Amino acid sequence: MCNCISEIEKKIHDKYPTHNGKEVESVNAHVIWIFTDDGMDKGTSTEFVMTLKGQKKKHPVEVNHTYCPFCGIKYKQEDENSTTRTDSSN
């Protein structure tokens, strides 16, 4: 597994030590947790939005990335076809 997420969080923090006149305490990527053979690790995902006919409320569908979008290294996942559905109504 690569360190892209941590490295980019640090680069953003280094580039933006302050925002709107206030000190930036931390920068955190929206991550998903991937089950690996060694335990768990951070991964990335892309959120799609599903609209149901006749309903204004949108339902997010999160699709996990199989490869790091920054360096292209394949994420080690237990389940190769891991797709997570998230429902904000809960």
Cβ proximity to Zn ion, 2 vs 61, nearer residue: 2
What span, in angstroms and rounded, lies between the C-alpha atoms of 61 and 84? 7
Nearest approach, Cβ of 34 to Zn ion (angstroms)? 13
To the nearest 10°, the Cα dihedral for 10, 15, 30, 68? Answer: -70
Cβ proximity to Zn ion, 58 vs 76, nearer residue: 76
Nearest approach, Cβ of 38 to Zn ion (angstroms)? 17
Q: Which spans of this chain sit near Zn ion (rule: CB under 5 A)?
A: 2, 4, 68, 70-71
- Element (DSSP H or E) covering residue 20: none
